Amino acid sequence: MRRSNERMPRAVKGRGSPPPRYSHAVWKFMVTIGGAYLRLAEGVRSVSLTNPEVLQEGYRAFHQGEKRLILAFRHTAKEDAHVLTYALNVLLPRLSRKSGIAFPYHPHVRFLYGKDVLTWAGNAAAWLIPRIGGIPVRNRGANREGLSIIRSDAVSGPYPIALAPEGQVTYHMYRSAPGTGGTASIALWALESGKPVEIIPLALGYRWGSDPEAFIRRMLLRWESETGRTVSGTHLHEQLIEATDGTLDLLEEFYGIAKESSLEYRIAAVCERALASGEASAGIVASGTILDRLFRLRYTGVDRMFPDDFEPQKLPRITRSLKDFRAQEAAAFMRHAQIVDILEYLDPSYIDPPFSAGRGCEYVLNLLDIVNRMQGGNINTRFSPKGKTAMVLAGPPLDAGSLLSGGRGNRENRNLLNKAVENSLNRASQDLESIWEHSTLS
């Protein structure tokens, strides 16, 4: 497992919120190298696209001015944006040509991405994302400039908008998390165009080789090596639950939490203690849901480690030193946030036997990622084996306008749309599992 850099952090000038500045040349370059990048950098051997006709019709109607279009995708892994970009920009036109369908449309999208992505995605991604038209957003935070761009694009932008309604990576291919409401707001803005608004749900999934049982056992051996603990059960489900118990033991020992009988209760207790510890260090008053608190703690850390208004060469030495001290404190409380970021989504009921092979593979990788976060890692250092395959599935489109009623207020309509999008993403995820999973484990 990759180790995080143990060097003491220093304050580094943040990348801010760069406005989108789309370049067709950059887009062309991205499309040209997309397949090689997926294989070499992301370890994705191949991508398949199911129900491409849904996207073909959606793009046709959008580019002919008949409808506005939103692509709402499941966000299950750090590779998702690259996989989805490849599926839309390369696979969709290719499949259309093979089917004899004229597809003269530019199958690009306006991606919404978390502002903090630019702090960990690397220099190349930070340069590329704005130049393919990405719009930075700050979940649960002020983002007036970004919202203005999104609203304008929703009404009359040249490309469909693509976003993850779940708000961040949720680490479950076959179960959607509740949405943040952003998709509903964008759909309501798009309706101001006077045109119908279509929302296409997209499920994304991964497969880690042809022998999932052997893969899970290898990952459990890796977990044993990382934790110094062993599992002794004879069945995979027993071993995965033992590894869950052992992972929680380590966290409970660190946080000084008494062990309870229910795994679900123990997960919730560790998340609460980790957030409370981080909030106390950051000087934050806890309020809102667990995700509200997680985003607030995360962005507080990002602001202190990567201040946008930071000009170190212009500061007196003592001021620079104190900024670094702040960054070091932030790096410490961000470790609590990183643990919650993955642990909050760990759910033993996801692998109630018999469970699909993909669920078991995903679950053991999440256990390894919790260990990664305990060692100071983040999503960028998550272990993600090479040679995996990916699938994108387009579900039945939603007609946003037909779901609304003139007798309801904006809040009620947003809630209604948000629930409809969540349900459609869950259905798409279930369809993906039924199509792609051919074996069960216990």
The predicted pLDDT at position 141 comes to 63
Residues lower than pLDDT 70 in the chain:
1-7, 140-145, 405-407
Range of the domain at 193: 24-208+386-441
Q: Do residues 187 and 279 both lie within one domain?
A: no
Q: Do residues 285 and 321 both lie within one domain?
A: yes
The predicted pLDDT at position 4 comes to 47
Q: Do residues 31 and 78 both lie within one domain?
A: yes
The CA distance from 352 to 174, in Å, is 13
The CA distance from 96 to 89, in Å, is 12
Q: Structurally, how many domains does the chain consist of? A: 2
Spatial contact of 343 and 252, defined as CB atoms under 8 Å apart: no
Report the CATH number that the domain containing residue 118 is assigned in CATH.
3.40.1130.10
Q: Do residues 53 and 143 both lie within one domain?
A: yes
Q: Do residues 258 and 367 both lie within one domain?
A: yes
DSSP three-state, residue 134: coil
Q: Do residues 309 and 284 both lie within one domain?
A: yes
Cβ-Cβ contacts under 8 Å for 254 (sequence gap 6 or more): 374
The predicted pLDDT at position 101 comes to 84
Q: Do residues 158 and 223 both lie within one domain?
A: no
The predicted pLDDT at position 148 comes to 86
Burial zone of 253 (CB within 10 Å; 0-12 exposed, 13-18 middle, 19+ buried): exposed
Predicted structure pTM score:
0.93
Residue 3 in any domain: the answer is no
Give, for 207, the enclosing helix (H) or strand (E).
Answer: strand 197-207
Domain finish residue from 329, 357, 381? 381
Q: Do residues 189 and 317 both lie within one domain?
A: no
Residues in the chain, total: 442
Residue 119 in any domain: the answer is yes
pLDDT in tens, 212-263: 999 999 999 999 999 999 999 889 999 999 999 999 999 999 999 998 889 9
Residue 7 in any domain: the answer is no
Residue 18 in any domain: the answer is no
Query: Residues 374-393, buried b or exposed e (16+ Cβ, 10 A)?
Result: bbbbbbebbebeeebbbbbb
The predicted pLDDT at position 126 comes to 83
Q: Do residues 256 and 230 both lie within one domain?
A: yes
Q: Write the single-letter amino acid at 172.
A: H
Q: Do residues 373 and 418 both lie within one domain?
A: no
Domain finish residue from 357, 381, 405? 381
Residue 116 in any domain: the answer is yes
* Percent of the chain whose predicted confidence (pLDDT) is above 90: 73
Residue 165 in any domain: the answer is yes
Residue 292 in any domain: the answer is yes
Q: Do residues 367 and 355 both lie within one domain?
A: yes
The predicted pLDDT at position 1 comes to 47
> How do 161-163 and 68-73 pair as beta strands?
parallel
Residue 143 in any domain: the answer is yes
Domain finish residue from 365, 381, 397? 381
pLDDT in tens, 60-81: 999 999 999 999 999 999 999 9
The predicted pLDDT at position 315 comes to 87
The CA distance from 32 to 165, in Å, is 29
- Which of 398, 7, 347 minimizes the C-alpha distance to 173? 347
Q: Do residues 30 and 155 both lie within one domain?
A: yes
